[in-house]
């Protein structure tokens, strides 16, 4: 995966799935529709402000609560290129990869402010704050998971692999 | 001689066809039941098609229950249910429950004997962990994982570490399973069991009803747990008897099984609990709740919508009336609970108290319908989450409690101890 650069939006600890996409919008699974309400109860203007390639940075236990896959789908469809958090709730963690949303666990990002610009190198697991040059090292995303993300999620990845076998 | 294992490890090893597993092992496991609902199944069905799959792995083991926004609350919800219904018909699924057959999935499946001890269950609903009360391994997954399991009958899982909880002592009056689990979450936090199995043991668990055990395992996810589990005993067998559609297997932890930690609680010291907004870990004993006026009470959900919960609420509501400023909404979780509550005369008590009796639905728990909050409104609910905006407006508040506390609060018009309303 190519390294990405983007502007940061900071959220706190225990960002739950209702904050990411409130259940009142779960009467659809259309990504474009879900994107409009991404993070609405945490920051009502987020969906309008976030731009393609932006990066969400958060504290511990990001994505706790429901199993709704609508959560990573809405983040991805809203344009965010990646979520970096101290750690993730386990169902969200699986769902993010399964739906093709890159996520990284990194404890060191807690001091980063909204508006900062980051460079994320998924191969090396290096996160650089562009203004200050400060770097944070985390576990890189392994090659097969990068392939899965590049395919757009688990199903397209499996499909691609099955096709390659034929 | 295989190594000593916990009940969770044993069930995972069994379903992976292995003699033994250890925490951290990645296993590919056979799935006994794969479950979806009207919110999560539409995406799973889309992914199932995307995969190019034609048939589900077993039409008796893929179970779809529309329960969240049902009876359909709006056109979009109706379309989602329709998508799931058409798939259920096309695949000739044996277990599809709609309308008067439908109930809150995690109350409905055990009641119908669709989950038995020793099972491995995955469900695209985070409260799938409820079935751990039967001595099964059950965990929530997303729609894509459900789609893969619907096609293959398998799921890959990381074997979790296990935290053992020992509940000693006898809980006092009005203390229910809900209080034990809220107290636990209050102590360890909403990520206190992140990625881990929560095994509930001890005399207070032995003495607890199956309903109380379901409530405890149901909320394992609120501590970040992968699963909650209770070893099956005579009560479990009595519950399963006459319901279980399949042969069960009884697993239990070896005496020398390895736990990442053991946490011991003295239940005689635990009061009824209330979790304040906006996280289930913000618990306080109800006596320390202070003066919190409320506008709504919801008694129901996969956490507390069983007949025992209805009886507990009725015991407090009998001869009492909800405060005129409070909307009291009672939601028996399944058609059977509904029928039982009606037969036992509980509906008369609820109606006399000014309650609305809803058809089975998840409805208000996740802010769907049947009791949505306006800005500034507060609700005491027997549900499982009190996140920002969970039951409606982002500026509304949800307080989690057991059915007796919820009923007492409805009568008092503010958070109240059941003893203050029902006496004793």
Express each pLDDT in B10-25 by its tens digit.
999 999 999 999 999 9
The distance of A133 to chain B (nearest Cα, Å) reads: 32
Q: Give residue A109's pLDDT.
A: 87
B138-153 burial, b for 16+ CB within 10 Å, e for fewer?
A: bbbbbbbbbbbbbbbb
Buried-exposed string B74-93: b where 16+ CB fall within 10 A, e elsewhere: eebbbebbebbbebbeebeb
Contact B69 A67 (CB under 8 A): no
User: A7 to chain B nearest CA, in Å?
Assistant: 26
Q: How many CB pairs under 8 A join A and B?
A: 131
* B257-291: b (≥16 Cβ within 10 Å) or e: bbbeeebebebeebbbbbbbebbbbbbbbbeebee
Q: What is the mean pLDDT of chain B?
A: 97
Query: So what's the pLDDT on residue A166?
Result: 66
Checking ipTM against 0.90, whether it exceeds it is yes
B81: nearest CA in chain A?
A27
- Interchain contact, B385 vs A90, CB within 8 Å: no
Separation in Å, CA of A65 to nearest CA in chain B = 7
Return the pLDDT at B39: 98
Going from N- to C-terminal start, the domains of chain B cover 8-264, 274-422
Distance (Å) from the C-alpha of residue A72 to the closest C-alpha of chain B? Answer: 10
Q: Which of B77, B124, B195 sits opposite A67 (nearest CB)?
A: B124
* B221 → chain A, closest CA residue: A65
Q: What is the reported pLDDT for A19? A: 97
Instruction: Name B199's bridge partners.
Output: B164, B229
Closest CA to B272 of B145, B407, B148: B407
- Would the pLDDT of B3 be above 90? no
The CATH number that domain B274-422 falls under is: 3.30.499.10
Task: Give the predicted TM-score (pTM) of the model.
Answer: 0.97
Planar angle of CA B158, A14, A51, nearest 5 degrees: 100
pLDDT-based confidence at residue B244 (cuts at 50, 70, 90): confident
Chain B residue with minimal CA distance to A43?
B394
Q: What CA dihedral angle connects A94, A96, A99 and A101, to 10 degrees? A: -150
d(CA A45, CA A61): 23
Q: What is the pLDDT of residues B172-230, one digit of tens each?
A: 999 999 999 999 999 999 999 999 999 999 999 999 999 999 999 999 999 999 999 99
Query: Does residue A161 sit at the B interface (CB-CB below 8 Å)?
Result: no
Instruction: State the pLDDT confidence band at B422, using cuts at 50, 70 and 90.
Output: confident
CA distances from B86 to B64, B80, B218, B301 (A): 11, 10, 29, 26
Cβ distance B126 to A29 less than 8 Å, yes or no, reads: no
- Cβ pair A154:B394 closer than 8 A: no
Q: Is A154 on the interface with B (CB under 8 A)?
A: yes
* The CATH homologous superfamily of the domain defined by B8-264: Aconitase, domain 3 (3.30.499.10)
Give the separation between CA B130 and CA B136, rounded to whole angstroms: 9
Distance CA B77, CA A25 (A): 10
Span B67-80, pLDDT tens digits: 999 999 999 999 99
Q: Under a CB-based contact definition with an 8 Å cutoff, are residues A8 and A117 in contact?
A: yes
The mean pLDDT of A128-132, rounded to a whole number, is 95
Q: Summarize the confidence of residues A28-34 as an average pLDDT.
A: 97
- Give contacts of A 3-62 with B, CB under 8 A: 14, 16, 18-19, 22-24, 26-29, 40-42, 44, 60-61
A132/chain B closest Cα distance in angstroms = 32
Residue B96 confidence (pLDDT) above 90: yes
Spell out the SS3 assignment of B197-212.
Answer: EEEEECHHHHCCCHHH
Same fold, B8-264 and B274-422: yes
Query: Residue A59 has which token pair?
Result: 């504290």
């Amino acid at each position: 995966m190519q390294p990405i650069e983007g502007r940061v939006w900071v959220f706190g600890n225990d960002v739950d799935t209702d904050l990411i996409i409130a259940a009142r919008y779960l009467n659809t699974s259309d990504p474009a529709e879900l994107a409009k309400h991404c993070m609405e109860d945490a920051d009502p203007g987020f969906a309008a402000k976030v731009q393609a390639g932006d990066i969400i940075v958060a504290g511990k236990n990001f994505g706790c609560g429901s199993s709704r896959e609508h959560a990573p789908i809405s983040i991805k469809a809203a344009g965010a290129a990646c979520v970096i958090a101290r750690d993730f709730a386990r169902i969200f963690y699986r769902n993010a990869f399964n739906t093709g949303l890159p996520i990284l666990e990194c404890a060191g990002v807690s001091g980063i402010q909204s508006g900062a610009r980051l460079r994320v190198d998924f191969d090396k697991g290096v996160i650089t704050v562009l203004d200050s040059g400060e770097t944070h090292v985390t576990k890189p995303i392994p090659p097969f998971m990068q392939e899965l993300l590049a395919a757009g999620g688990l199903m397209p990845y499996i499909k691609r692999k099955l096709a390659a076998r034929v | 001689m295989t190594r000593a294992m916990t009940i969770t490890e044993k069930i995972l090893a069994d379903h992976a066809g292995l003699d033994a597993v250890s925490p951290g092992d990645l296993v590919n496991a056979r799935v006994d039941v794969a479950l979806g609902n009207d919110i999560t199944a539409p995406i799973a069905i889309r992914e199932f098609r995307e995969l190019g799959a034609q048939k589900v792995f077993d039409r008796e083991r893929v179970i779809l229950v529309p329960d969240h926004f049902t009876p359909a609350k709006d056109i979009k919800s109706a379309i989602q249910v329709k998508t799931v219904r058409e798939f259920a018909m096309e695949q000739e699924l044996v277990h599809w429950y709609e309308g008067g057959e439908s109930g809150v999935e995690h109350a409905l499946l055990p009641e119908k004997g669709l989950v038995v001890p020793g099972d491995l269950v995955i469900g695209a609903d985070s409260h799938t962990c409820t079935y751990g009360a039967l001595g099964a391994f059950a965990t929530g997954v997303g729609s894509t994982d459900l789609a893969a399991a619907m096609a293959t009958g398998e799921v890959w899982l990381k074997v979790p570490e296990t935290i053992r909880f020992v509940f000693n002592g006898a809980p006092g009056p009005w203390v229910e399973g809900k209080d034990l689990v809220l107290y636990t979450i209050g102590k360890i936090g909403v990520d206190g069991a992140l990625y881990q199995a929560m095994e509930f043991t001890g005399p207070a668990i032995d003495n607890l009803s199956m309903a109380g055990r379901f409530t405890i395992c149901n909320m394992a996810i609120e501590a970040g747990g992968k699963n909650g589990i209770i070893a099956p005993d005579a009560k479990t067998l009595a519950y399963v008897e006459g319901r279980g559609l399949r042969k069960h297997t009884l697993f239990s932890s070896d005496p020398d099984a390895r736990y990442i930690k053991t946490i011991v609680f003295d239940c005689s010291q635990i009061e009824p609990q209330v979790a304040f907004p906006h996280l289930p870990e913000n618990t306080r004993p109800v006596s320390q709740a202070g003066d919190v006026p409320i506008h709504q009470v919801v008694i129901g959900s996969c956490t507390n919508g069983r007949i025992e919960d209805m009886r507990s609420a009725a015991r407090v509501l009998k001869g009492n009336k909800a405060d005129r400023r409070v909307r009291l909404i009672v939601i028996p979780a399944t058609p059977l609970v509904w029928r039982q509550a009606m037969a036992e005369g509980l509906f008369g008590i609820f109606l006399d108290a000014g309650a609305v009796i809803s058809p089975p639905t998840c409805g208000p728990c996740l802010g769907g319908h049947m009791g949505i909050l306006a800005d500034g409104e507060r609700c005491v609910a027997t549900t499982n989450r009190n996140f920002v905006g969970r039951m409606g407006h982002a500026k509304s508040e949800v307080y989690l409690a057991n059915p007796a506390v919820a009923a007492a609060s409805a009568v008092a018009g503010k958070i109240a101890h059941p003893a203050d309303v029902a006496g004793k």
